[in-house]
């Protein structure tokens, strides 16, 4: 389900000290900082459609390109787990 929503501004600023596994995600998100923020009212309407659905999904991703972005994240994780599986296999 696409809602046509994009990024929101949380009103937070600041940084986390030290390297983090999330640094690549932060860098990618920073690249979208110039995109216009979306209207929270539109998000609320989309959320209500999800909640009111006959069979609402257990998880939902809002935002333009969100599914593609998260799919890439999970594909990389699955690849990492599959590559590491032989290390933990019973021998």
Q: Parse the chain into domains and list their residue ranges.
A: 23-88
Give the pLDDT of residue 23: 80
The rounded distance, in Å, linking the Cα atoms of 85 and 83 is: 6
**pLDDT tens digits, the chain, 91 residues: what are they?**
555 555 555 555 555 566 777 788 778 777 766 666 677 888 889 899 999 999 999 988 877 778 888 899 999 999 999 999 999 877 5
Is this model's pTM higher than 0.75 or not?
no
Write down the residue that tokens 């216009």 correspond to.
Answer: 36
- How do the residues of the chain divide into helix, strand and coil, expressed in percent and rounded to 5? 50, 0, 50
């Amino acid at each position: 389900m696409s809602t046509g929503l994009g990024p929101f501004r949380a009103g937070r600023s600041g940084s986390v000290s030290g390297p983090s596994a999330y640094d690549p995600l932060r860098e990618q998100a920073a690249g979208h900082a110039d995109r216009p923020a979306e209207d929270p009212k539109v998000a609320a309407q989309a959320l209500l459609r999800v909640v009111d659905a006959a069979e609402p999904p257990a998880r939902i991703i809002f935002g333009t390109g969100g599914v593609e972005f998260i799919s890439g994240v999970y594909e990389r994780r699955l690849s990492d787990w599959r590559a590491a599986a032989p290390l933990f296999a019973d021998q």
